[in-house]
Amino acid sequence: MPFKLNQNTNWRLNFYLIFGGQFISNLTTMIVQYAFMWYITDVLKSATALSLSTLMMFIPWIFLAPVAGVVIDRWSKKVIMIGMDLLAALVAIVISLTISQFAGGALLTLLLVAIFTRAVTQVFQQPTLNTIVPAIVPKDELTKANGQIQSLQSLTAVIAPGISAVLFGLIPIQWIILLDVIGAIFGSLTVLFAYVPVTDSSQEEQVSFFKNIHLGIRELMKHRGIFQYSILSLIAIMFIMPGASLYPLMTTQHFGGTITQAGIVETIWSVGSLLGGIFISIWGAGKNRFYAIFGSLVIMGATFSIFGLLPAGLGGFWIFAGLNIFAGFGLAFMNSPFMAIVQEQIQPEMMGRVMSVLMALTNIGAPVGLMFAGPLADQFGIAQLFLLAGVATLLVAAAAVLLPAVRQIDKE
């Protein structure tokens, strides 16, 4: 194919080709994901159902991520990326053709299966993308490159809720789901034409999967700051994610708002995250990136605490919506600097295994929290979950300061 890029191609052109394609693919994926959220909120009206749908997004990260890391280090990254895109397209076609035939519990089961399968594709795709970045981007450009990735992801999140909410009110959901097919095709083609270096894994071919998983965990634990912060992140996510998953019901039940207003909240959060990503992509995250990570925890803890104290009604809703720009900004600084630190300190031949183990570790907290979030919210109210999440995140920020290895995470 004459249009394929090669190792002599300018790295920026290669980088933007890959992540431009992923922007389109992720945009359609998020539009469909939000459509599922609106559908569950509008049809089932259950915090438990909404929590279960989010739970299905995280379970694959626990059980499959370590295995995915071994696969990423051994197999062609292009094959993995394209294969997962095509699997996501197949799932979208099946769900689109069958969703109108189900109702009630059967409908929820179908949606949970769809969300779970889509999450499986992300378990393989996201770590693969994270291993491609340090392979094609110069080391001194990694923090800014990750900031640009964060900006693209945030821009996707800014656009997706509004588009999804508008489409949800105009066309049947089965047609919205088919957008995933378009995005998957676009993402596959850009990866196909891009240049992705092949990691030499000849010496690892004789080692078993479990041995490779063990090697990934052992390599991660060598970097005490990264490992300890991953544990702290696990704890924070265990409390934050349940509240974040219930944003639509917080809007419609606690504040008495609409699906459109729920989309506005998601958009404002994403605008904040976009601004944070743009800031990092231009100015970086400072000489010592620990301060950026610590500040993000404080911002998210403070905003979530305030959310839990807001009164019901539209007056409280607009405060809730406005403060989400700060929560989104904090999220950008929680993710991008830490990811750049990991990419700088882990050897390329171990990157896939470490990245997948790291993601599995940091994602264990979400299912634990989500198992209790829905029933507790149905019983005691959603606002109380936000207050609990905010206080817990502030305690995590305090622990980060008290742990020497975490304070020195950017100096290892």
pLDDT tens digits for range 358-374: 766 766 766 677 667 66
Paired tokens of 23: 């922007």
Q: Which of 40-54, 145-159, 191-205 is least confident?
A: 191-205
What is the predicted pLDDT for the residue at 125? 81
What is the predicted pLDDT for the residue at 138? 78
Q: Mean of the pLDDT values across residues 152-179?
A: 79
**Letter for the amino acid at 216?**
G
What is the predicted pLDDT for the residue at 231? 83
CA distances from 281 to 52, 59, 151, 342 (A): 35, 31, 8, 17
CA dihedral 248, 337, 285, 303 (to 10 degrees): 30
Give the integer Cα–Cα distance in Å for 163 and 259.
12
Give the integer Cα–Cα distance in Å for 286 and 174.
46
* pLDDT range class, residue 53, cuts 50, 70, 90: confident
What is the predicted pLDDT for the residue at 188? 87
pLDDT at 5 over 80: no
Interacting residues of 285 by C-beta distance below 8 A, sequence separation 6+: 143, 147, 292, 333, 336, 337, 340
* pLDDT range class, residue 132, cuts 50, 70, 90: confident
pLDDT at 1 over 50: no
Decide which of 133 and 403 is more confident. 403
Helices 11-39 and 179-193, packing angle to 10 deg: 160
pLDDT at 98 over 90: no
Paired tokens of 396: 């995590």
What is the predicted pLDDT for the residue at 9? 59
DSSP conformation letters of 343-368: HHHS-GGGHHHHHHHHHHHHHSHHHH
Q: Mean of the pLDDT values across residues 264-271?
A: 81
Tell me, what DSSP letter sits at residue 223? S
Q: Mean of the pLDDT values across residues 303-312?
A: 89
Whose tokens are 């009604």? That residue is 313
pLDDT at 279 over 60: yes
Give the integer Cα–Cα distance in Å for 292 and 67.
31
pLDDT at 352 over 80: no
What is the predicted pLDDT for the residue at 303? 92
What is the predicted pLDDT for the residue at 34? 81
- The overall average pLDDT reported for the chain is 78
Q: Which of 38-42, 150-154, 215-219 is least confident?
A: 150-154
Give the integer Cα–Cα distance in Å for 116 and 54.
9
What's the whole-model pTM score?
0.63
Paired tokens of 253: 């039940």
What is the predicted pLDDT for the residue at 399? 92
Buried b (16+ CB within 10 A) or exposed e, 181-193: bebbbbbbebbeb
Tell me, what DSSP letter sits at residue 201? -
What is the predicted pLDDT for the residue at 264? 83
